[in-house]
Amino acid sequence: MTPNIFSPIQLGPLALPNRVFMAPLTRCRASEGHVPNDLNAEYYAQRATAGLIISEATSVSPTGYGYPSTPGIHTAEQVEGWKKVTSAVHAKGGHIYLQLWHVGRISHPVFQRDGALPVAPSAVKPKGQVFTGASMEDYVTPRALELSEIPAIIAEYVHGATLAKEAGFDGVEIHNANGYLLDQFLRDGTNHRTDSYGGSAANRARLTLEVTEAVIGVWGAERVGIRLSPGGVFNDMNDSNPLETFGHVLRELSQFGLAYAHVTQVTAQDIAHGAKEGVGPKELRPFWKGNIVSAGGFTKETGNRALTEGWADAIAFGVPFLANPDLPERLRKDAPLNQPDEASFYGGTEKGYTDYPFLA
């Protein structure tokens, strides 16, 4: 029987009630020290009817921040904050993965210790500006990581994965998308290295595979997912042959037996910013043996079509979940959706965060 978005799904050891997943959504509402708080716990618990919640991107390192008030997973205080979130979600019967993140070059010296330069695979300055918390500033040219520093980066992901387990998560998702550090290593537009981490697709994929294998060492493959954005141009990203690059990395990742690959599709907004269609979950399905979670502007109808056609096994909804804490119920009943308040997406209080109404 062909599944639909309301069908149960087995994700490793987790028996999930539906395939309406909550996509990772940066909301910039962590407390001082990048510590999750009671308001964050309320927000996630409201959305516990998702088949799976994938948390907002969470930095594994003090050097991994690029936005104000985003959470971390590298201190004891952050673990205690996240315990409030996981406890609240589990009390409502939900499941939640933590997304492990390092922004790489998408940062600014204001976020770095002693005003240091952000790190990246290569010293390639991104176009655009970053909000420092006080003003918009041009991105700077990052510092290329030395070969000798890469083991420490891997160790930071391991530390974050270990603390995520301590904090009570059900698993972790490795953020390898959207122009952040691991994506920067993977794509040749940002990776100009000439050592064993640069050049060929196999070399550029090396860090992704090493981080994944190391995180599996903490969680087991059945509780690890990975996010990829093969057609994305966000954060000034590009690759000369994305089908080759992402086909290779997915083929190699398939050998690990991960819980899922979270592969985004190109949206109309992406295309308006220069992205091209033709490299997404549908095209990359032949390279991947396991579950595919897809995100990118889906509706109930297009999500069900993706499941019917077999190139997705679950659908992650972003903005619709932001504005509709009871999204699965609304989709099931074809009920009207709340309109999102874009002004409150990033930072603020409960307004536009925990005050969206539920169905009566």
Known catalytic residues are 180
Residue 254 is encoded by which pair of tokens? 């398939």
**CA pair distance 182, 184, nearest whole angstrom:** 5
**CA pair distance 74, 160, nearest whole angstrom:** 6
CB 38 within 8 A of CB 81: no
**Contacting residues for 1 by C-beta, under 8 A, at least 6 apart:** none
**Contacting residues for 305 by C-beta, under 8 A, at least 6 apart:** none
Radius of gyration of the chain (CA): 19
DSSP state of 35: B
Tokens 């640069």, residue located: 198
Provide the pairing of β-strand 53-59 with 96-101: parallel
Total residues belonging to the chain: 360
CB 27 within 8 A of CB 353: yes
| Residue 350 to residues 56, 87, 344, 347, Cα–Cα distance (Å) | 16, 20, 9, 10
Residue 316 pairs in a beta bridge with: 21, 295
**CA pair distance 223, 204, nearest whole angstrom:** 25
